[in-house]
Amino acid sequence: KTSFPLKNIHEHQLTHMKECTDQGGISFVIFYFSTLKKYYLLEYPKIDEYIKDVRSKRQSIPLSYIQENGYQIQLSLQMTLNYLDVVDDLL
Average pLDDT score, the chain: 90
Domain ranges of the chain: 3-90
Q: At what angle do helices 44-52 and 11-22 cross, to 10 degrees?
A: 120
CB atoms within 10 A of CB 85: 13
Q: With contact defined as beta carbons under 8 Å apart, do 27 and 21 qualify?
A: yes
Q: In angstroms, rounded to a whole number, what is the distance separating the alpha carbons of residues 35 and 1? A: 7
| Statement: residue 55 has pLDDT above 70 | no
- Main-chain phi, psi angles of 67, to 5 degrees: -65, -40
Architecture per CATH, domain 3-90, reads as: 3-Layer(aba) Sandwich (3.40)
Note the pLDDT of residue 74.
87
C-alpha span between 82 and 36 (Å, rounded): 18
Task: Return the percentage of the chain with pLDDT > 70, whole number.
Answer: 97
